[in-house]
């Protein structure tokens, strides 16, 4: 009888622990932070294909976005897909790209993270774009690997409701573990 009581007590504790763990995981993934993987080279060399990142979601919305933040968002043309790009144009900004250089409100944007892989090829809309004003409820997003990035130059603005969170940690592969910081302007 004691063995059965011990087993039932152990089984109850195990089930409670599993239920609590699943509940906590659900709450964390839904509201606090979530893991994502990088499927393309549009953010190279800062984020490589197959890198894994964690995005902070709690209280992160349009009001918290700073220019230069790396953001996970639902792709405007297919919200089932998550994209990872850098916030370039904030609400109300005028964005213009001239000869591969980004101008925000008429001023050249300093972008030390940008890579241009094919300096010989120049073409619209990738290298010459705008000027265009970012709507008050949206962002203009671009990849760091500008010559190989499918971004706002091609499919438009990211509405505020599509923001999932800010990428803050690269955790895989282990030799590339680091905090992901935006750029101070």
What is the set of active-site residues?
Answer: 42, 85
The closest alpha carbon to 62, from 164, 155, 146, 147, belongs to: 164
Q: In sequence order, which ranges of the chain are alpha helices (DSSP H)?
A: 2-27, 152-155
Sequence-separated contacts (24+) of 114-117 with Cβ below 8 Å: 114/144, 114/146, 115/44, 115/45, 115/144, 115/145, 115/146, 115/147, 116/146, 116/147, 117/145, 117/147, 117/148
Dist CA 86 CA 185 (whole Å): 14
Distance CA 41, CA 178 (A): 18
Q: Tell me how far apart the 2 most distant CA atoms of the chain are, in Å.
A: 82
Q: How far apart are CA 83 and CA 43, in angstroms?
A: 10
Strand partners, 124: none
Tokens of 9: 């007590």
């Amino acid at each position: 009888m004691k063995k059965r009581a011990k087993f039932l007590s152990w089984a109850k504790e195990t089930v409670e622990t599993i239920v609590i763990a699943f509940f906590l995981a659900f709450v964390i993934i839904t509201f606090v932070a979530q893991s994502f993987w990088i499927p393309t080279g549009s953010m190279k060399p800062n984020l490589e294909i197959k890198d894994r990142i964690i995005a902070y979601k709690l209280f992160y919305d349009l009001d918290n976005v700073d220019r230069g933040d790396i953001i996970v968002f639902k792709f405007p043309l297919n919200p089932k897909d998550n994209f990872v790009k850098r916030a370039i144009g904030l609400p109300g900004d005028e964005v213009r790209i001239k000869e591969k250089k980004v101008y925000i409100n008429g001023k050249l944007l300093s972008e030390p993270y940008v890579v241009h892989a094919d300096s010989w090829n120049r073409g619209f809309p990738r290298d010459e774009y705008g000027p265009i004003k970012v709507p008050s409820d949206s962002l203009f997003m671009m990849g760091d690997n500008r010559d190989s990035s499918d971004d706002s130059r091609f499919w438009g603005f990211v509405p505020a409701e599509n923001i999932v969170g800010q990428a803050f940690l690269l955790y895989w592969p282990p030799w590339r573990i680091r905090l992901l910081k935006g750029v101070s302007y």
